[in-house]
Amino acid sequence: MSDLGKGSEAVANYITICNTVADSYPESKAHGLQKDAIQNSLDARKGNGVVRVEFKVVKNKRDKTFLTFKDSNTTGLTGEVVKDVSDYKTLKKDDHWARFEAFAFTKDDPDALGARGQGKFIFLCASEQYKMFYDTLRDDGIYRLGATEVTDIGRTIYPERGNKWESDLAKTKLRELCDLEPLEEVGTRIIVCEPLLEVLEEIENGSFERAIQETWFRAIEKGQLEVRLNVLGKNTKIELSSPYPLPQNDTAKTKVWLYKKDFAEHAIYSSDGSFKIKNFCAVHVSNDEIPEEFQGVAIIQNGMKICSLNMEMVPTDISKRITGYIEFEKALDRELHKGTNQQPNHYNLRWRSTTPRAIKRFINRQLEDFGRTKLGIGEDKREKQKRIRNTAEKEAMELLLRHAYDIDLQGTKKPGPGPTLEPPPLPPTPPANKEIGLILQTQFPNVEKKPRVDLGEEMLLYLRCFNKTSYDVKGLVSVRILQADTRIEELLVKKPIDLRQAIESDGKPYYVVLNDGSPFKIGIDRHRYENPGEYRIRAVLINVDDGDEIDARTVKFWVAENPPKRMPFKLEPSQLSTKHAWQPSGDIDNDPIIYYNTSHPQYKFSQADEEDQADYLFNICLEGALHFILTRPYNESGEVDYRPLNTNEIVNSDQALIPEKVHKEINEYISTVRWRRFEKQMP
């Protein structure tokens, strides 16, 4: 290989990386922060003692606000400061300091939960300045301080590589930079600079405390964890709230379902192996509803709630009164830690994987027995099949949209260029139904994910007015960005324009290009666009003479969230009189429906399990989508269009080979989609 010579380091937008990581947390930033922080502390627990943690909001003498997280009875951030980038290749198990300062360097220990290397970014996302300090005091007496700051062009770790702040120097630096005192107990502290208002609000209104109670109730109940919350000097120990601790015996108001007391089944079987449960407890409280965050049977891993499963197909007044938990022996805890079994950030399981599916079946079976034995309820067989069918239909269509994402049944997707500052070309003609009006054209920073934009990105808006009439018009143009009825920002406020009559020589419309021909640049910053979801660009043209609205145009975009997915066709059950698994109706522009045959033996084989049925219906959806593609042979120009199949390969073949070419294209496409469907579930 030839010598490439010297190169330069690539620049990365770490603010976007931080926000992308934060977006992967389904709850709020504050909820994710407490979950990751406490998880890391329990991971570093010393022996069997109680891990003590404290979240603290503090203002220093310079009126700077910090949110600190401190733990004790932990090992602290052990290991040396990495002096050279190449040293990351040989990190040892206990090199916690190096891993904390790195990104995506995982641990080999299957018992270590904080192993994916991205949890630290939730602390940076909680800072207005994307900056944090961290210090540690270790058993060997070493006290050390570090800092990390990210920007839209990079990430900086302090002090510079090869140096370190330790002992007296670290204490001096901490007082100088933060005006805080160093640690006095062995452990670790993270110092978030200028925490976000939304995080502080959740701490003040009690949401943060409830999130800790919800996530860590078992660790607190078993004496493994003690959590304190200190807000500007007010120190509170977080205690368990109702309904915890859960009762262990039946009473007039509560019924319980306990492992080793009400049932003896202890093994969960899957193709990954046979695993044992440690505890199972389900409780029904007759006199009051359980708070929503505590409803259902919580799945506990290493003391932390991952998610919960509610009792299915029972009246809501029963399901809202049931709570509980399940805990596993170490072998299953390890198995659930695998990325194939668990969603990122420990907020859900991958229910289509074999072991989570087995866990779900176990829990549902126990809840059914509980309901039948002690609550006097049972699920009607027909209602159960209907529930499974409805759930499977939804899951099958979501799988189609997720893995067959290049299917373009409506023919609306067009290959487009990347972002550019050049204005997009004018349409050949303005809208036929408008004599005078507006033309809005947008350009997204990433054409692959439009109409979604993320925090830190910028989208462009081009605005033109046109006049096709034989008379002049004076108008006012306003452009606002709204979320629901809330005004986010105004790009134009009643901007006067002169729309002269159409150009007489060739009859072409007269155009006025707003903003001197330059695009309006819409910066998606967190201060204006703090709420993820749908936004609207609303442009209005008003006649100066009479104040009437001449035209209005709206463009929608979504911030930090994908737009709702449009279902390409309906999926409906039917008892078909043929041996076919499914039958189409309509076409893609006229009420498209795929009827699947509930009399088909393969459907009946999948009827008892919603995951099996969803897989079966997914294959029908894929085949049905390709049917609608092949019955949509013409695009707007009148040419045949079988996209995403290769139109040229099919149409330009010898006539005798067309069936073979069609079969080849369909088979290759189906194979590709099925590969996508399962590749991420492989170990």
pLDDT tens by residue, 313-366: 777 888 899 999 999 998 888 888 877 788 777 888 888 788 898 999 899 999
Which of the two residues, 7 and 516, has the higher pLDDT score?
516
Which of the two residues, 401 and 411, has the higher pLDDT score?
401
Distance of alpha carbon 254 from alpha carbon 216, whole angstroms? 23
- CA-nearest of 306, 317, 413 to 363 is 306
Does 493 lie in the same domain as 578? no
Distance of alpha carbon 624 from alpha carbon 568, whole angstroms? 10
CA atoms within 13 A on the CB side of 608: 4
The mean-pLDDT minimum among 52-56, 77-81, 486-490 falls in: 77-81
Task: Provide the pLDDT confidence category of residue 283 given band limits of 50, 70 and 90.
Answer: very high
Percent of the chain at pLDDT > 70 equals 87
Q: What is the pLDDT of residue 600?
A: 92
Bridge partners of residue 133, in order along the sequence: 147, 191
Answer whether 0.85 is exceeded by the pTM.
no
Distance of alpha carbon 380 from alpha carbon 520, whole angstroms? 59
CB 190 within 8 A of CB 36: no
Q: Which CATH number fits the domain that encloses residue 549? A: 2.60.40.10
Phi first, then psi: what are they for 655, rounded to 5°? -55, -35
Residue 213 pLDDT > 50, yes or no? yes
Q: What is the pLDDT of residue 633?
A: 62
Mean pLDDT of the region 89-102: 79
Does 641 lie in the same domain as 609? yes
Burial class (CB in 10 A: 0-12, 13-18, 19+), 42: buried
Q: What is the pLDDT of residue 449?
A: 79
Burial class (CB in 10 A: 0-12, 13-18, 19+), 391: middle
Amino acid occupying residue 253: K
Mean pLDDT of the region 103-131: 65
Task: Provide the pLDDT confidence category of residue 637 given band limits of 50, 70 and 90.
Answer: low
Q: Is residue 236 part of a domain?
A: no
Phi first, then psi: what are they for 602, rounded to 5°? -70, -35
Q: Is residue 385 part of a domain?
A: no
Which of the two residues, 184 and 660, has the higher pLDDT score?
184
Mean pLDDT of the region 581-602: 87
Residue 114 pLDDT > 70, yes or no? no
CB neighbourhood size of 504 (10 A):
9
Q: Is residue 244 part of a domain?
A: no
Give the Cα-Cα-Cα angle 517, 520, 521 (nearest 5 degrees): 135
What Rg, from alpha-carbon coordinates, does the chain have? Answer: 30
Does 548 lie in the same domain as 584? no
CB 645 within 8 A of CB 665: yes
CB 596 within 8 A of CB 621: no
Kindly give the pairing relationship between strand 452-453 and strand 486-499.
unpaired
Cα separations in angstroms, 390 against 244, 393, 500, 572: 34, 5, 58, 10
SS (H, E, C) 471-483: CCEEEEEEEEEEE
Does 602 lie in the same domain as 554? no
Q: What is the pLDDT of residue 147?
A: 93
CB 67 within 8 A of CB 34: no
Does 64 lie in the same domain as 192? yes
Q: Which token pair is 234? A: 């007010």
Helical spans, DSSP H, in 323-380: 330-337, 354-370
Q: What is the pLDDT of residue 118?
A: 62
Residue 471 pLDDT > 50, yes or no? yes
Residue 654 pLDDT > 60, yes or no? yes
Q: State which of 231, 246, 281 marks the end of a domain.
A: 231
Distance of alpha carbon 603 from alpha carbon 620, whole angstroms? 11
Q: What is the pLDDT of residue 133?
A: 95
Does 268 lie in the same domain as 220? no
Distance of alpha carbon 44 from alpha carbon 137, whole angstroms? 13
Q: What is the pLDDT of residue 113?
A: 39
- Per the prediction, the chain carries an average pLDDT of 84
Give the Cα-Cα-Cα angle 306, 309, 313 (nearest 5 degrees): 170
Does 335 lie in the same domain as 459? no
By three-state DSSP, how is residue 166 classified? strand
Task: Provide the pLDDT confidence category of residue 505 given band limits of 50, 70 and 90.
Answer: low
Distance of alpha carbon 537 from alpha carbon 461, whole angstroms? 9
Q: Is residue 3 part of a domain?
A: no
Range of the domain at 553: 436-559
Q: Is residue 420 part of a domain?
A: no
Phi first, then psi: what are they for 257, rounded to 5°? -135, 105
Q: What is the pLDDT of residue 490?
A: 92
Does 286 lie in the same domain as 211? no
Q: Which CATH number fits the domain that encloses residue 198? A: 3.30.565
Helical spans, DSSP H, in 227-329: 316-319
Mean pLDDT of the region 609-617: 86
Does 588 lie in the same domain as 625? yes
Q: What is the pLDDT of residue 110?
A: 43
Our count of domains for the chain comes to 4
Mean pLDDT of the region 99-123: 59
Q: Is residue 422 part of a domain?
A: no
Q: Is residue 138 part of a domain?
A: yes
Does 304 lie in the same domain as 278? yes
Does 171 lie in the same domain as 55? yes
Mean pLDDT of the region 428-457: 81
pLDDT in tens, 537-575: 999 999 998 889 999 988 899 998 888 777 788 899 998
Mean pLDDT of the region 524-544: 91
Bridge partners of residue 164, in order along the sequence: none
Mean pLDDT of the region 489-499: 91
Does 313 lie in the same domain as 221? no
Q: Which token pair is 67? A: 């949110």
Q: Is residue 394 part of a domain?
A: no
- The winner for highest mean pLDDT among 95-104, 184-193, 447-456 is 184-193
